[in-house]
Amino acid sequence: MALVRTPSKLAIEDERLSLIQGDVQDPAQVQSAIAGSDAVLSVLGPTSNEPTYEVSRGMANITAAMEAHGVRRLVQSVGAGIRDPRDQPRLFDRLIKIALNLFSRHVYEDMGRTAEIIRASDLDWTLVRVPMLTGDPVQGDLKVGYLGQGVGPRVTRAALAAFMLQQVEDTTYVHEAPVISN
């Protein structure tokens, strides 16, 4: 089951995938999508750099619905700029964070609020922090770590999807926020 704003933008068809057109801002639609699920994988992202905080408001609806329906596993993608205590940011990472604050302040704030909501929940969550996403074919081994510890500046969408799916049953990163890269 996938709750999507615009089903025509989802270029995947599979007999095991059901799409619900809806809005994560509508608690009833979120409740309906989550009822009967085993896990929630979310790639929510802002649609503008306006102070609407649509992702964090949507995540509040998701976590409430998960708690109401007894769904424990949450895997959420966020940008690599969302920090973790295990990070050892290098100069490049610090410059990127400054740029994010200057040019995408509201996006950065919204994703930070989203991470805070998730971290404060009682769910079995994993925040998958992603650097620049590419549409390239998967190349090389996936690197999983923390900023300043051997992860690179890019990850393919396919690698992100595969890693997130793997996390549904893999508990290695429960209550953690690794960065992934190719």
* Model confidence pLDDT, tens digit, residues 51-67: 999 999 999 999 999 99
Number of domains in the chain: 1
Model pLDDT, residue 18: 87
pLDDT value for 59: 98
- pLDDT at res. 24: 96
What is the per-residue pLDDT for 9? 85
Report the pLDDT averaged over residues 77-84.
92
Query: Sorting pLDDT into bands at 50, 70 and 90, what band is 92?
Result: confident
pLDDT attached to residue 131: 93
What CATH number does residue 130 fall under? 3.40.50.720
pLDDT of residue 157: 94
pLDDT band at 134 (very low <50, low <70, confident <90, very high): very high
**Confidence (pTM):** 0.93
Note the pLDDT of residue 13.
83
User: pLDDT averaged over the chain?
Assistant: 93
Query: How confident is the model over 140-154, as a mean pLDDT?
Result: 91
Q: Order of strands across the sheet with 73-79?
A: 39-42, 73-79, 124-130, 179-181, 143-145
Task: Please report, as a single letter, which amino acid is at residue 5.
Answer: R
Q: For position 64, what pLDDT does the model report?
A: 98
Domain that includes residue 15, residue range: 2-181
